[in-house]
Structure 1
Amino acid sequence: MGRAEERRARQARGRRAAPKRSSGAGAAGAPAGGKNRRSGIRRFVNWKTITGTFFGLCLLGMGAFIVLYMVVDVPKGNAAARLQSNIYKYRNGDVLARTGKVNREVVDLSKVPKSVQRTFVAAENKSFYKDSGVDLKGTARGLINTLSGKGKQGGSTITQQYVKNYYLNQDQTVTRKLKELVISLKVDRQKSKDDILAGYINTSYYGRNAYGIQAAAQAYYRVDASELSVAQGAYLASLLQAPSQYDWGVATDTGKKLVTARWNYTLDNMVEQGWLDSGERQKLKFPVPKDPQGAPGMEGQTGYLVKSAENELAKQLVTDGTASDLDQAQAMVEAGGWTITLNIDKKKQALLEKTVKAQLTSKLDPKKRKVDDNIQAGAVSVDPKNGRVLAMYGGKDYFKHYYNNATRRDYQVASTFKPLIFAAALDEEAKTQRDRPITANTVYDGTNRRPVVGSDIGFAPPNEDEHSYGDVTVQTAMNKSINSVFAQMGVDVGMDEVLKVAGKLGMDTKKIQAVPAQTLGSMGASPLEMAGVYATLDNHGKKVTPAIVAKAEHKDRSVDFPDPIGDQVISEEAADTVTSVLTGVVDDGTARTSVRDNPSRGGQQVAGKTGTSDNNKSAWFTGYTPDLVTSVGLFGEEKKTGRQVSMKGATGLVAEGGRVNGGGFPAQIWAAYTFDALDGKVTKFDLNTTSGAAVEPTERPTVTRTPSSTPSSTPTTEEPSTEPPTSSSPPSPTDEPTTTEPTTTRPATPTGTPTDGLPDNPFDPNSQ
């Protein structure tokens, strides 16, 4: 047999030995000793396909990047050309101001001290002189943050930030970030590091409307860039991380701590890089910048209005997602191209300015009285029906006092907080310590320095002039602003509930401690804030958020602002009852001289509340008619230091120890402005309430002092009487305080109707 035949025979034997396939074998499983076949997705997914897919995507990404690199060119820098004017208009369309002369003077890098140049590298990008112009990790993080909606990226190189400032824009989009990456790589190849650094420090925004290091040096230190010290340069370099938060002139305590830490970080990095001697570093002290100055054209009240409008627009850009943070938003606003219409009424604005001058500033004479130089006034006027800010007074002059007194919230609101305590009592249907509903006719003990009952925290506040009033209704307590009554009421309601309601009405209460001492209005708030709170009361409990901006339009976008009128935050009856009670403050309380007796009143119905803080550092009157709410605040601020100081003796006052009361200048400004602004129109409140001073009286509240085993009948509503009480009658809601000095003996225990909120003997905790 030949070889060929042998091979064919072996093949034939092999075929005969091979097992036959069964049609049922696949269903029952593989034969013994065989391997399972892959089924479903497992037939396609294995380590080979995964690896292949990964490398395929990498190659695809690399190819896409190469194409992008070839397609995207370095654009012509036109940052300066894009900066335009902003136009600000009154509500009627008249132009209020134009801004937009770019505050930038480009300086050659050789004019900036080498040590100052290095502060920017130390602060932002230590590897700047060695890297290729991009931070791949930082860019990837930024892309992920953008895709996930987490906002601003971190970790960009100086080259990338320069490209963003000079060649691109501040938009937070994936397309812009990819362009930034490509252009940065190309710019790093085409330009020297010195050129890039010069471009970066000359295009960056430093706050205070300062673009570039020369404008920043002038804005913060009143020197040219060539005269900056290394300490000053480190501050400007640190500032770039958050200009609005780190501007020392307006920064919060937190902002000051953060920028100081960043300043130290920058200098420490310079030591680490060998750019600064450690011994010299230890000698450096933080260079506190000069106070901010206004820009040309911003004199008088204009600067306050423009800056308030810009701030409101910037906040809205963050809220609607156009900007990732406030710094980016402010840069977008100040880049120009906006037409911003304010809600400011031109006539009312002029009237408010004229009134403050006539009623206050014309009477101040710092040459005669040092204290007169410390008086600051702020005021805001709001339409309660639509929330528009119709007028604002920010200070003597934007150039002379940069800080806006209308929006500052660092002074105590004092007794203007008392209506909010009462509003909380009504809305929460609170009861006294004796389980009686709190109404305008509820009787409390107005004894001076009476300890509150029912609180774990002891508190015994003094009344003004240490006066004791005895048993009084809530209406009388509001009229005469009796501290001891509202301290107890705050405890009765619960300070947590009081602050909750205050927050719903419009106060920022997030950082306020819920302790009885807050019933004296020891927290800070601004005239703008208080105008919004009282406007909500005036608007029958529907939330009013004062709005300065009516609309803002840009060539690229328009901005939608929320409706200033919000939801019902307290009940209509609660809000209207507070309003009713506050009419008593005007007609028979602390504001009667300035407001009730004003010859221009002409029968106009008014509600309002005075406030005078501890040590007379602030004085307030916030009042309203059905159509207009205005809050006026006076603040004692030492001119040189900005420290809060007493206003006693201002304008030569001698009565009441020279104290500036809320019922004095603030109420006088309010009345003169309001009655003129109403232009002869007389209106009445339409109130849903059966309580308070605005209600037609039926019979006098019964507050007997004869022994009785049961409480007297519930007091009925009554308009306070202006007649003095007889010696045999109990104090009425409108009794004038006696002039007798309080004795040092303990107050007598009431023998008739138990005083709400007290044990029979307020000094005996076991007598309840």
Structure 2
Amino acid sequence: MGRAEERRARQSAGRRAASRRSSGTPSAGVGGGRAAARRAAKRGGRSGIGRLFTWKKILGTFFGLCLLGMGAFIVLYMVIDIPEGNADAKRQSNIYKYRDGSIMARDGKVNREVVDLAKVPKDVRYSFVAAENKTFFKDAGVDLKGTARGLFNTLTGKGAQGGSTITQQYVKNYYLSQEQTVTRKLKELIISLKLDREKSKDYILAGYINTSYYGRNAYGIQAAAQAYYRTDAEDLDVAQGAYLAALLQAPSQYDWAVASETGKKLVKNRWNYVLDNMVEEGWLSASERADMKFPVPEPPKGDPGLEGQKGYLVEAANAALERQLIAEGAAGNTKEAEAMVKAGGWTVTLNIDKKKQTALEKAVKTQLTSKLDPKKRKVDGSVQAGAVSVDPKTGAVVAMYGGVNYLEHYTNNATRDDYQPASTFKPVILAAALEENAETQDGEPITADTIYDGTSKRPVVDNGEKVGFAPENEDDENYGEITVQTAMNKSVNSVFAQMGVDVGMTEVVDVAGKLGMETEGMQAVPAQTLGSMGASPLEMAGVYATLDNHGEKVTPTIVKSAEHLHRKVTMPDPIGDQVISREAADTVTSVLTGVVDDGTAQASVRNNPLRDGQQVAGKTGTSDNNKSAWFTGYTPELVTSVGLFGEDPKTYAQVPMYKAVGEDRINGGGFPAQIWAAYTFGVMDEVTKFDLDTRQGAAVKPTRTPTATQQPTSEPPTEEPTSEAPTSSPPPSQTPSQTPTSPPPSQAPTTRPPTTPSAPPPTFGIPENTADPEADQ
């Protein structure tokens, strides 16, 4: 065999051996097969996802992104310079217009006076640091954790959260804007870092306290010191400084003059928080802190140029705009929303109708304020009036009366909710009964014709047991067995207290919320049937507008539109869903026409010479101890709620209105109803009738046809009952000692209710005594 043939033979043998190894034949041996399997598994582990994600690649990507982010930040740091102060820091005016486009008001020049930091007492300066940024003197001007959270919330649409340093807040106020965007957040971060490197802490702190908004149209600490304490910034003490520092978190909510009880509690808590932080940081001694009392601010003076009703209208419009900015996510909280509005540049068109606004102001003056004489009767100086008028078809607030003068009485009586609505709440109870198809204790459906026991101080029962509540009727009058219609006409407390329990107070509160009342914190107890919660004329106008609108929710809206150079705000639709059935709403309206024609409002409304046959529904209300009196009434075209409130002009405490204007008692059927009638009948374009969908039709017609020449008679109401207020619930172990003296009959009357020996026969006509018998305990 030659060399070539020998070489070819060796090559052929090698190929056969390789073939046997790769095919796993026995000739490769057991060990060779296992090794081949291990090699195959190793190759398989490196394929697919395993080859894409290795620890080296993951770490490399992470560090690459970090380097990229650092590089981007360095570039931004080099590119972004500290700008000049923005235009908003110099503030423009806002323009407010009536619904027809005519100018109503401008908010005037900015109230700001810059003061040197050296003139501000050191402990007052420290109070701002303690309130907002305890590490201010040590940090680099930014809170990375808070900024990262803010960026995340902005990206995810969750709005803004706290956490910014004083430096960042100053940069936002003076150099940037209140916009919630990623770009603005990044600029804020970089400018804050640069500013902290280039400027002293005193410079930044001075800028912060001189540019911040404190409420009451006060920008800067000097304006705030004058607005709240009638003093200069250099004369503030540490307690006053701590209040101003606390105020910055929510200026309007924390303004002591207009704050709710919750707002006062919150600002006191924050005031304590500021002082406690000062002690913790060594800026205030514990002994000085222990001796400090909360420094109640002086009442506000109001803004020049916003005299009369203009200030009330502007403040109400601003509040509505701020709420919408938060709802849209343009502002993260109340403080930011206020800053955006107060920065200026807004054109706000209100729903206020100039003609109706003038008519409402005139009605209050002619029917009430022109008759008040504090020099002759001291109590006359305590009478405050508030009113709101709403178009039930659109929800537009067409007129508002906030008080005698915004510059003299800062609190808006039209939107305040600290007085009891009293018997104006009774229609809500009836609406709940009709909506829930409720029954009496005897299983009879509750309708306008259902008979109840109207005995004064009648114990309210639930399933045969007393619930510990027995309200007194006005003048302790016993009505005996009367229909729901007559009970509404005469505003009989004992009937509606029992009805509330029959329906279920939880259901009553639920329906109240659906109709538009604020029910957070409202206890579902029988005492609420007397309207013992707080409510505003604006709120009650919304409730009655929903009834007038056949059960479709009406949310009174004062702002028609709001535009800014960079933004247009879209206000929510005031007309909402069907919250109670049309039949329930219309039946309540039907019953409330009886209050006007045969009940507590007849003296002021029924026979008014301007009525001209106009159909009217409404309800009077007079609270416990005569601290408030109401009439909320409506036609198919207009809903208006009028309230009178007793308020001490010096302490702002609620006080009774007995003997005001020479009257023994101020009742809802008196001055409030007179104001309502003078206004409503004066602005009517035409006489209208209700289009009601009820099983009972319109309310019972009066026994006499009202004429323009009839003059209602009246006699002075008697003194308020002095019975002890009952508890709202019985003791846990108490068992009833007696059953009601006159339980509700199980059948409704076919013609008129039966009489009882203790009360005169009820009538659907005009009672002989036309004095206003309505009141609530």
Measured against the shorter chain, the TM-score band is: 0.7 to 0.9
- In the other structure, the counterpart of 2:511 is 501
Letter in 2 for 1:112: V
**Measured at CA, do residues 605 and 29 of structure 1 come closer, stay the same or move farther in structure 2, by a change above 3 Å?**
farther
Question: Shift of the alpha carbon at 1:172?
Answer: 1.6
Paired position in structure 1 for 2:763: 732
Q: Where does residue 121 of structure 2 map in the other structure?
A: 113
Is the Cα–Cα contact under 8 Å of residues 469 and 737 in structure 1 kept in the other structure? no
Contact 1:691 1:717 in 2 (8 A): no
The one-letter code matched in structure 2 to 1:683 is T
Superposition deviation, residue 401 in structure 1: 0.9
Which of 669, 687, 690 aligns to 2:695? It is: 690
Select 1:663's aligned residue among 669, 685, 695: 669
User: Percent same amino acid at aligned positions?
Assistant: 74
Decide which moves more: 148-157 or 292-301. Answer: 148-157
When the two chains are superposed, the root-mean-square deviation of aligned CA atoms in Å is 2.8
Q: CA deviation at 1:212?
A: 1.1
Residues 617 and 714 (structure 1), Cα distance of their counterparts in 2 relative to 1, 3 Å cut: closer
Q: For 1:297-353, what per-residue CA distance to the aligned partner results, in whole angstroms no more than 9, with x for missing partners?
A: 111111001100111111111111111112211111111111111111111111111
Query: Would the alpha carbon gap of residues 185 and 321 (structure 1) be closer, same or farther in structure 2, given more than 3 Å must change?
Result: same
Give the match for residue 544 of structure 2.
Answer: 534
Q: Which of 467, 478, 482 matches 2:477?
A: 467
- Per-residue deviation, 1:158: 1.5
2:373 partner letter = D
Whole-Å separation in 1 of the counterparts to 2:34 and 2:641: 88
AA of the residue aligned to 1:732? T
2:65 aligned with 1:61, yes or no?
Answer: no
Partner of 1:125: 133
Shift of 1:18: 10
CA contact (8 A) 1:638 1:645 kept: yes
Whole-Å separation in 2 of the counterparts to 1:486 and 1:676: 33
Task: Map 1:44-123 to 2 at 5 A.
Answer: 44-79=52-87, 83-123=91-131
On the 8 A contact 2:451/2:745 being kept in 1, the answer is: no
Find the counterpart in structure 2 of residue 762 from structure 1. none
C-alpha separation in 2, matches of 1:221 and 1:729: 60
Partner SS state of residue 649, structure 2:
coil
Q: Scaled by the length of structure 1, what TM-score is found?
A: 0.87
Of 389, 414, 418, 1:410 maps to: 418
1:373 deviation in Å? 0.8
1:433-485 C-alpha deviation (Å, 9 max, x unpaired): 11111111111111111111216632111111000011111111111111111
* CA deviations over 1:108-141 (Å, ceiling 9, x no partner): 2122122222222222222222222122222222
Residues 725, 735 of structure 1: 8 Å contact kept: no
Name the CA distance, whole Å, in 2 between partners of 1:168 and 1:130.
24
Q: What corresponds to 1:636 in structure 2? A: 646
Q: Distance in 2 between matches of 1:445 and 1:726?
A: 13
1:673 maps to what in 2? 679
- What whole-Å deviation, never above 9, does each CA across 1:38-67 have from its counterpart, x for those lacking one? 232112322222222221111111111111
Partner of 1:247: 255
Alignment match of 1:524 (pick from 534, 541, 550): 534
Assess, with a 3 A threshold, how the Cα gap between structure 1 residues 506 and 17 changes in structure 2: closer, same or farther: same
1:22 aligns with 2:22: yes
Deviation at 1:148, TM superposition (A): 2.9
Alignment of 1:163-562 (within 5 A): 163-454=171-462, 457-562=467-572
Q: Which residue of 1 aligns with 2:610?
A: 600
- Give the 3-state SS of the residue equivalent to 2:289 in structure 1: helix
Q: Which amino acid aligns with 1:71?
A: V
- Quick one: distance in 2 between partners of 1:41 and 1:586? 81
- Rounded Cα–Cα distance in structure 2 between residues aligned with 1:367 and 1:196: 53
C-alpha distance in 1 between matches for 2:385 and 2:500: 30
SS at match of 1:36: helix
Alignment check: 8 A CA contact 2:392 2:638 kept: yes
Residues 709-757 of structure 1 deviation map (CA, whole Å, 9 limit, x = unaligned) = x989754589x9xxx9999995334474899xxxxxxxxxxxxxxxxxx
Deviation at 1:269, TM superposition (A): 2.9
Partner AA of 1:665 in structure 2: F
- Secondary structure of the 1:323 match is coil
Q: Identify if the C-alpha distance between structure 1 residues 66 and 400 changes in structure 2 by more than 3 Å, giving closer, same or farther.
A: same
1:131-142 equivalences in 2 (<5 Å): 131-142=139-150
Pick aligned residue for 2:598 from 583, 588, 593: 588
1:558-569 aligned at under 5 Å gives the runs 558-569=568-579
Instruction: Work out the CA distance in 2 between the residues paired with 1:426 and 1:525.
Output: 23
| Distance of 1:645 and 1:427 partners within structure 2 | 37
Cα distance between partner residues in 1 of 2:452 and 2:419: 29
State the one-letter code of the partner of 2:592. Answer: L
Instruction: Measure, in 2, the Cα distance between the counterparts of 1:265 and 1:174.
Output: 31
Q: Distance in 1 between matches of 2:330 and 2:95?
A: 20
Deviations 1:584-638 (A, max 9, x none): 1111111111111111111111111111111111111111111111111111111
CA apart distance, 1:19: 11
Structure 2 CA distance for aligned equivalents of residues 451 and 62 of structure 1: 76
Inter-CA distance 72–388: structure 2 relative to 1 (3 Å threshold): same
TM-score (norm 2): 0.86
In the TM superposition, what is the alpha-carbon distance from 1:276 to its structure 2 partner?
2.7
Higher relative contact order (CA 8 A, sep 6+): 2
Counterpart residue type for residue 695 of structure 2: T
1:636–1:23 distance in 2 versus 1, CA, 3 Å: farther
Shift of 1:410: 0.9
- Taking the TM superposition and a 5 Å limit, the aligned residue runs for 1:140-155 are 140-155=148-163
Shift in alpha-carbon separation, 1:32–1:184, aligned structure 2, 3 A: same
